[in-house]
Amino acid sequence: MLKFRSIAFAGIAALALAFHPGVASSQTQVATVGADGYTRAMWRGTDGSINLWKLDPVLNFVGSHVYGPYAGWSPVALTMLGNNTYLLWRYTDGTANIWVLDTNLNFIISHTFGPVGGWVPEGLGNDPFGNIRLVWKTPANQIAAWVINAALNVIGSSPVYGPYFGWNF
């Protein structure tokens, strides 16, 4: 019976993520798996708050934390390095703020980047070298990425790419 409940919860969670129930929604770049096999997912509230979930390797709900809303700030994306979650917030002037959260989604530290004239933070990723990639975008669909180490120091950047006719980022 326990196995059925786990499968049923996973199915319900998958449907919830697909159909955006209630006042929260899940969108791209909002779920990631840590080195521990646990999934972290971000639900965005219509008021600008977020509800971060932790799911075990078979997608059983383990815990959650609610953060926000914070005036002028919008949650954008999350990624993981090891078992720490990195969360990107964007301010109305295009400033980026990256939070580091521990394995149980507790806030550890944050760092602010920008604003960078004409650019807004658009996404987060990671690389095989233990770094974060902060993706920036212009209204003209140009993109560039900053390479940021686990301590939230900028250690490099990409060239500017785009725009490419007929393609949006």
Question: Quick one: which of 135, 124, 123 has its CA closest to 162?
Answer: 135
Cα–Cα separations (whole angstroms), residue 87 to 21, 36, 59, 79, 110: 22, 18, 21, 7, 9
- Residue 125 placed within a domain: yes
- In the chain, how many domains are there? 1
The CATH number of residue 77's host domain is 2.120.10.30
Q: What is the pLDDT of residues 110-149, one digit of tens each?
A: 999 999 999 999 999 999 999 999 999 999 999 999 999 9
Residue pair 121/114 in contact (Cβ under 8 Å)? The answer is yes
Positive or negative torsion for Cα 57, 82, 128, 122: positive
Q: What is the pLDDT of residues 30-73, one digit of tens each?
A: 899 999 999 999 999 999 999 999 999 999 999 999 999 999 99
- Residue 136 placed within a domain: yes
- Residue 62 placed within a domain: yes
Residue pair 133/147 in contact (Cβ under 8 Å)? The answer is yes
How many CB atoms neighbour CB 119 within 10 A?
18
- Residue 163 placed within a domain: no
Instruction: Domain of residue 75: give its range.
Output: 2-157
- Residue 33 placed within a domain: yes
- Residue 137 placed within a domain: yes
